[in-house]
Structure 1
């Protein structure tokens, strides 16, 4: 098997939970391999998720790599460090949510929060485009 495979999650955010890249990467590891991520907060957003994934990896004989460092979930110091990172990642995510809610409340108070603008359906767009084109290039009279 190849030693270095890279999996990437796209379209992942606070409201989208598509983790196809993570799921593929977790399925591709084997006993004795190192599952490496670049940043912990993108790997797991809360302690429960981190604990579940790291316990599963450890049960399969997989070590966890963060950047250039490798940690063993079965080692008390490695577990403490990774749990601390998970705690900080969850804290940062919660701070982001809090700041967003505060910003939205302030915008609403100032009358600036309007929500998502409605989209015009395609059948209604055609006559608008046609009328716009007619105004832009009037017919010669």
Structure 2
């Protein structure tokens, strides 16, 4: 606790994190802000129906697991380059699963787009005939 307080007072005195080294204080701040931003991106994807509620819950749980892994790495006060690379790869994989880089549906193949439409149609409240007509218009 005393080390964290010392690091915090140093950061405040320096008016920033200066050196670019990944210490417990800097990494914790990055993780906390990144988690909030990721959760809001997941919520936006849910609202836009690009992912299911189950997928959203899983993505948030996977991000929480990455946060916990980083916390374990930070126990010694710093994250090694290999640990940072591993965490970056995990976060990149989560970003790819979320698939919100660019316009909605930009990363979907035509078949995946059609499957996403087919998954959401039953909850649309439309009749079976209307659902079939929509799917047929996408196929042709």
Q: Same fold (TM over 0.5)?
A: no
Q: Under TM normalisation by the shorter chain, which class is it?
A: under 0.3
Q: Select the structure with the greater relative contact order (CA < 8 A; seq sep ≥ 6).
A: 2
What's the TM-score once normalised by structure 2's chain length? Answer: 0.28
Larger Rg: 1
Where is the helix percentage greater, Structure 1 or Structure 2?
2
Where is the strand percentage greater, Structure 1 or Structure 2?
1
